[in-house]
Amino acid sequence: GCMLNGKLYPLGRIERTEDCYRCSCSRDEMHCCSLTFTPVSYDKENCKVVFNRRRCDYDVVQRNDPSKECSRVARV
């Protein structure tokens, strides 16, 4: 298997790790890609970014009411 952040994963394809990566584990190496898209363009004065581990995504919510999402968010 392969170790990633202290956790052992089996050989083969790992669809989603605890830290939101998709990985491929072989006897010689492990390759991983992030499953998240980082918000880069949003109203930073009125909005804030919160990581949602369950969905492996960032929520961009209003600072004064985190129950409401912000609009016009660009991600990379």
- Do 30 and 46 lie in one domain? The reply is no
Identify whether residues 50 and 68 lie together within a single domain.
yes
State how many domains the chain has: 2
CATH number of the domain bearing residue 52: 2.20.25.590
Instruction: Identify the bridge partners of residue 16 per DSSP, sorted by sequence position.
Output: none
pTM for the predicted model, two decimal places: 0.69
Give first-to-last CA distance, the chain, whole Å: 31
**Contacts within 8 Å (CB) and 24+ apart, 27-30:** 30/2, 30/4
- pLDDT score, position 16: 93
Tell me how far the alpha carbon of residue 1 is from its chain's centroid.
23
11 & 29 share domain:
yes
Q: Which amino acid is residue 39, in one-letter code?
A: P
Q: Which domain holds residue 69?
A: 39-75
Which tens digit of pLDDT belongs to each residue from 22-38? 999 999 999 999 999 88
Confidence check: pLDDT of 73 > 90: no
Same domain for 54 and 30?
A: no
Check pLDDT > 70 for residue 76: no
